[in-house]
Amino acid sequence: MKEELWLKGGWVQVNIYAPTYAIPHKCAGYIYCHPGRRLLDQLNEVFPFAVPDAREFIPIREGKMYSLREGSEAVEFACLNKVNILFVGEFEDGQTRGVGSEPGDKRYPYLHKSPRAVKLYLPFYIMTGNIHCSEGQRVSDVLNLPLRFFPITDVEIHPEAGNDLKSGFVAVNKRQIILLEETVVPTT
C-alpha cells in the first residue's frame, strides 16, 4: 500500500551507473520526477520555461546498490552525487518509459530532430546510439549546451566487464565523456 501511494506521486524506477572504481558502480531504485517532468528534466533540474536549479544530489528510495566486490545491498534511502553518474536509464515494468516531446504532447514544444549515430567512451563503458539534433545543429552543439545530462536513444552499452546492455533511452552525463565520435551508419 505504501509503495502504491508514493509511486503514483511521481517516483520512477531507474538504473544509475557510476564508474566501476566507485562503490557502488550501479544503483537501482526510485527517484522522484515532478508531475509533467521527464527524467532528463529531473536530472538537469529544469522544467520548460523555468530557470535551471543547481542541486548536486539525487535522492533515491528503496535502492539496491551493486558493488563489484560485495554483490548488492538494499538501502531504504540514499543520495547520489550527480558528478559521479555516468548515465541513467528509466524503467517501468522492465521497459523504458517513453514520456515527453512527442507530437501532440502539449507539455513540451515538439521540435523535429534528426538522429546522428555516435560512439561514446566513458570510464569503463563504450556506448553507441543516437544523439538528436535540431535543424542546423551539430553534435558538438548538443554537447556544448549548458545542461549536464543529454539523451541518447537506441543505445547499446558495452561495459569493460560484464554483459552488454540495450536500452531505448539513457541520459548521459556529458562531464563523464572521454571521447565522442560521430559515426556513419552503413546503408543496406
State the chain's mean pLDDT as an integer: 78
pLDDT tens digits along 90-100: 764 444 444 44
pLDDT of residue 3: 47
Mean pLDDT calculated for residue range 20-49: 75
d(CA 173, CA 30): 19
d(CA 130, CA 145): 17
Q: Which residue has the cell 528503496?
A: 62
pLDDT tens digits along 147-156: 889 999 999 9
Q: Which residue has the cell 532528463?
A: 40
**Where is mean pLDDT largest: 39-43, 126-130, 182-186?**
126-130
- Residues with Cβ within 8 Å of residue 163, at least 6 apart in sequence: none
pLDDT of residue 58: 84
Q: What are phi and psi of 187, to 5 degrees?
A: -90, 145
pLDDT of residue 129: 95
pLDDT of residue 125: 92
Mean pLDDT calculated for residue range 80-89: 89
| Type of residue found at 23 | I
How many C-beta neighbours within 10 Å does residue 31 have?
22
Predicted TM-score (pTM) of the model is 0.77
How many C-beta neighbours within 10 Å does residue 53 have?
9
pLDDT of residue 12: 84
